Amino acid sequence: MARKKDVPTEMLLDGAQMTLAAFIAGTMGFLKQQDIPIKDWVSYIGEQFEGSLGALEGDETGKVMDHLLALEVLPLGVAVVSSKSTRDKAEATLTSLPSRTVLEKFGTTPRELLKGFGVTRKEFESILSMYEPAAKAIGLKLKYQSKDDQEILTLERIRR
């Protein structure tokens, strides 16, 4: 029987990212079946973590973006393609959600995973909007967009 200490860390991370992708897609599929808007669920999650970035209030946007990427976004299985920042604006271009690289290790693709749960890629990507309330609470606006099979995440200081 495999014990955690015997399993390579990369394999554990891949398994966790696959499980997380399936959990997110499965929850979204269930919500759709129950006629509950996915955006309501994503907003609810975001509201629960509204104060989570409080310690970063006033910091440069690049530092906040690095925090979001390292602790919140990269664990979803994406990779950073490029990034840039100034004091008041940070932008990161990421591989698309859900992660093709991770899913293919488990013999599936993003299309197959999402189709199995009846979820579109656009609906799945909307999980990124859960970080909007936390950003807003510290005077930043977070937005994401899909472009050319990539996600672009932007943090910008709100002008007061």
Residue 44 has pLDDT above 90, yes or no: yes
Domain at 46, CATH number: 3.30.1380
The pLDDT score that the predictor gives to residue 1 is: 62
In this structure, what token pair is assigned to residue 85? 């920042």
Rounded Cα–Cα distance for residues 95 and 81 (Å)? 7
Mean pLDDT of 85-114: 93
The pLDDT score that the predictor gives to residue 30 is: 98
Q: Angle 57-96-122 (CA atoms, 0-180°, nearest 5)?
A: 90
- Nearest Cα neighbor of 67 from 92, 47, 44, 48 is 92
Between strands 80-85 and 89-95, the pairing is: antiparallel
Rounded Cα–Cα distance for residues 52 and 55 (Å)? 8
Task: Give the list of residues 6+ apart from residue 158 with CB closer than 8 angstroms, or none.
Answer: 136, 139, 140, 141
The pLDDT score that the predictor gives to residue 148 is: 85
Rounded Cα–Cα distance for residues 39 and 45 (Å)? 10
Query: How many domains, in total, are found in the chain?
Result: 1
Mean pLDDT of 24-43: 98
**Model confidence pLDDT, tens digit, residues 49-93:** 999 999 999 999 999 999 999 999 999 999 999 999 999 999 999
The pLDDT score that the predictor gives to residue 32 is: 97
**Within a 10 A sphere around the Cβ of 145, how many other Cβ atoms?**
11
Mean pLDDT of 37-46: 97
**What is the extent of the structural domain holding 69?**
4-157
**Within a 10 A sphere around the Cβ of 158, how many other Cβ atoms?**
11
